[in-house]
Amino acid sequence: LRETLIQGLRRLAEEDREAWAMLRLRHNEALLGASLADPRLFEVLKDCLTVPTNQEPMTLPEIRDRSEGRLVQATGVASSGSVWFRSLSAPLISGHRFGVAPFVARWAREEAVEVVRLGDGSEQQLFELVDLEPEASAALRTLFARPQTAVLPARFAPHTLPAVLLEDAEARLKQVLEDDAASARIAHGILSLARDVTRAIEERPVFRLYVNLDHPLVERALQARDPSLAAWVTSFAELTSSVDGDLGAALATQLASMQSLLCPPSKEDR
């Protein structure tokens, strides 16, 4: 039966392009999952199935051609990477959807294409990281500080985007599983096995905040050591991501920083 299915799909792709296109449109996700179970089926389908992106569903060859020969994948939903890539008009693969991550990994391995995953550290190659003088580096970390976050000075396009906030999926998993409350939600045996894995993950911040030194507000915040400007930039990064946090607090921070910038306190209030 499997052989008949594979041969039938191959003939359909070669002989009836219209029916083949309709089949892929209606059953793309199911075919994507099925292709992972059989190497021959994968060979038939690998270049014509689509994966979800921040723009529209695209085939992996299309994404590679529009991404300078590589694939960039979001590892989860907690990221402002989608806004960043939309501003660049570049495709970002939604790796948390069913079957997408293993499909992308297999295709990239067979085609010898690099996969950059936002949030696992490999995304640093997409930024021009900058080594600041010790005093400026300390000021940057103080001004743009947020809990459990590594603040990284960088330059990246577009210059109109002040910061990008990404969640480290492994660090988050380690934090969740090693929390005492996890034992109340997860069976002891499963939790013990999971913790054996997370013990190998080094202690590190859950988030990385890439601060764009080419953005005028960031430049001004550093020059003036202005916490209000820095707070606006940080809250902007939080609001354009979907990190687990207090949205109301981020909005309040942005409002307070704007009020401080537009209506600075008088000498009598200081």
63-99 pLDDT, tens digit per residue, is: 999 999 999 998 765 566 778 888 888 899 998 888 9
Q: Mean pLDDT of all residues in the chain?
A: 85
11-46 pLDDT, tens digit per residue, is: 887 788 888 889 888 999 988 988 898 888 899 899
Q: Which domains does the chain have, with CATH numbers?
A: 1-48 (no CATH), 50-126 (3.40.50), 128-168+207-262 (1.20.120), 170-204 (no CATH)
Counting Cα atoms < 13 Å in the Cβ hemisphere of 220 gives 10
pLDDT at 219 (0 to 100): 95
Task: Give Cα 10 distance to the centre of its chain.
Answer: 35
Q: Are 121 and 152 in contact (CB under 8 A)?
A: no
Full-model pTM: 0.81
User: Rounded to whole angstroms, how far apart are CA atoms 75 and 73?
Assistant: 6
Mean pLDDT of 194-223: 87
User: Rounded to whole angstroms, how far apart are CA atoms 164 and 79?
Assistant: 8
The H or E element containing residue 128 is: strand 128-129
N residues, the chain:
270
Task: Give Cα 89 distance to the centre of its chain.
Answer: 15
Given a cut of 80, whether residue 124 has pLDDT beyond it is yes
Reading the block at residue 193, the tokens are 């096995």
- Establish whether the linkage from the previous residue to 158 is cis, with ω within 30° of 0: yes
